[in-house]
Every structure is written in structure tokens, then in C-alpha cells.
Amino acid sequence: MPRSRTSKPRKPKPAPVELLPAGTLICRVDIPHRAVPWKVPRTNRYGGAVKDKSLKAWQKTVALYARIAMGSREPYAGPVRIRFVFELRRRPGTPPDLTNLIKGAEDPLQGIVIANDRQVCGHINPERIIGEINHTFIECFAN
């Protein structure tokens, strides 16, 4: 039966996702830089969103280290749990909020370590440590 000109061709069904056993380590990312917390994007004079430059640079750094850690593997498409450890050097003022640190580091993992951030089922004991060095440690586990 011929298709009418107005109907769109059907997309092929995606291949079924091969799930790993729960608790399997998918990726370990070790970043020797100070984490930058997520901030609400500012708006420019035309109403468009403008991301903070330091946040943008931090997310590029996370993406780079995640690509190196993943090697040639494809992003995992099953449910995941992520563990974050942020070690921050002591600075004057209040330390950044842990939730915003997680948001700033989780977004760049999308498309590299995990296929979509909707797969994240939870976080495993995230930590913010005020210490002597700047370091971020991320582990992604199958759920």
C-alpha cells in the first residue's frame, strides 16, 4: 500500500538496552580541579540565557575527563546511580551548596558516560569536603 505524501516515515525502533548487573562500575572520573557550582543562567538584553563563564569552563573540563575515562565505550543507557566527592580548598566565605555542585558536574556526563540524565535514579552518599586541595571524584554505577 503506497504511503501518502504527508505522512512521515517511521523511525526504526532502538535496539534493546543491554543492562549491566546492579552495582557494576560504569565509569570512574578523577578531576584535579576545583568544582564550580551550577548557577541560574543570566538573561541577555534579547531575553536569551547566558551561562556563567567559569561554569561553562568547568563543564568542558568534566566532559574532557569523562571522555578520557570512557575511552571508546558508548554511553550507558540503563538506570544509574552516581557518587560525587568534591574536595575544595578552604576559601573565605561560605562553601558552595552540595546540590549545585552536583548539578554542575552531572550535566556534562550526559552523552558521554550516560545517554540521558533522566537515567539517574539517585546519588550515592555525595560529599563536600573542605580540605587543602581542589579535587573532584565521580563514580557511575549501574542500578
Structural domain including 111 reads 25-142
Question: Residue 19 falls within a domain, yes or no?
Answer: no
Question: Residue 51 falls within a domain, yes or no?
Answer: yes
Q: What is the pLDDT of residue 48?
A: 87
Question: Residue 102 falls within a domain, yes or no?
Answer: yes
pLDDT digits (tens, 9 = 90+) for 23-46: 999 999 999 999 999 998 888 888
Question: Residue 11 falls within a domain, yes or no?
Answer: no
Report the C-alpha gap between 86 and 69 in whole angstroms: 18
> Which of 4-13, 17-26, 103-112 reaches the highest mean pLDDT?
103-112
Q: Which residues contact 97 (CB under 8 A, 6 or more apart)?
A: 37
Report the C-alpha gap between 17 and 50 in whole angstroms: 35
**Once rounded to an integer, what is the mean pLDDT over residues 51-58?**
93
CATH number for position 117: 3.30.1330.70
Number of domains observed in the structure of the chain = 1
Give residue for cell 549545585.
Answer: 100
pLDDT digits (tens, 9 = 90+) for 73-87: 999 999 999 999 999
Helix (H) and strand (E) counts for the chain? 2, 7
Q: What is the pLDDT of residue 67?
A: 98
Q: What is the DSSP letter of 120?
A: E
Question: Residue 35 falls within a domain, yes or no?
Answer: yes
Question: Residue 9 falls within a domain, yes or no?
Answer: no
Question: Residue 137 falls within a domain, yes or no?
Answer: yes
Question: Residue 118 falls within a domain, yes or no?
Answer: yes
**Once rounded to an integer, what is the mean pLDDT over residues 116-141?**
95
**Once rounded to an integer, what is the mean pLDDT over residues 38-59?**
90
Q: Mean pLDDT, the chain, as a whole number? A: 91
Q: What is the DSSP letter of 95?
A: P
Q: How confident is the model at residue 47 (pLDDT cuts 50, 70, 90)?
A: confident
With 70 as the cut, is the pLDDT of residue 1 above it?
A: no
Within 1-143, strands assigned E span 25-31, 42-43, 49-50, 80-89, 120-123, 127-131, 135-142
Q: Are 126 and 84 in contact (CB under 8 A)?
A: yes
pLDDT digits (tens, 9 = 90+) for 87-106: 999 999 999 999 999 999 99
Residues of the chain with pLDDT > 70, as a percent, come to 94
